Amino acid sequence: MKCKITRNAAKKINEIMAQEDSEGKFLRVVITHTHGTHAHYGLDLDTPGENDEIVHTDKEIDVLLDKTQDLLDGVKIDYLYLPEEGFVITNPSKGNHGDH
């Protein structure tokens, strides 16, 4: 499985992970809901489970992805400042280039 994290997202994720309550946890990308071949994604802090793969990224952030969820393979995590500040998670490899 693959996961890409942009520089802006890595900076924000590292800030979150530096908090005490995240010790021993990994960043997890979750599917919040799907319709057709399109998924909406979210982020959480969690510990690995039976179906998880720990994906090592080039930003030295390990991400948990559920191996049973095909729509998670190839996700891209970005952090945008405009038009609204926040994380944006897409999966260009699955044709998902953003929420609609």
Domains of the chain, by residue range, sit at 4-90
100: pLDDT strictly greater than 60: no
Which segments within 1-100 are labelled E, that is strand? 3-5, 26-35, 38-46, 52-56, 62-66, 75-80, 86-90
- How far, in Å, CA of 4 to CA of 72, rounded? 11
pTM: 0.91
* 75-80 and 26-35 beta bridge pairing: unpaired
Task: Give the pLDDT mean for 40-60.
Answer: 96
Residue 89 and residue 75 in contact, taking contact as beta carbons nearer than 8 Å: yes
Q: Looking at residue 99, what is its pLDDT?
A: 53
**Does residue 89 carry a pLDDT above 70?**
yes
Tell me yes or no: is domain 4-90 CATH 3.30.70.20: no
CA distance 73 to 2: 5
Q: Which amino acid appears at position 35 of this protein?
A: H
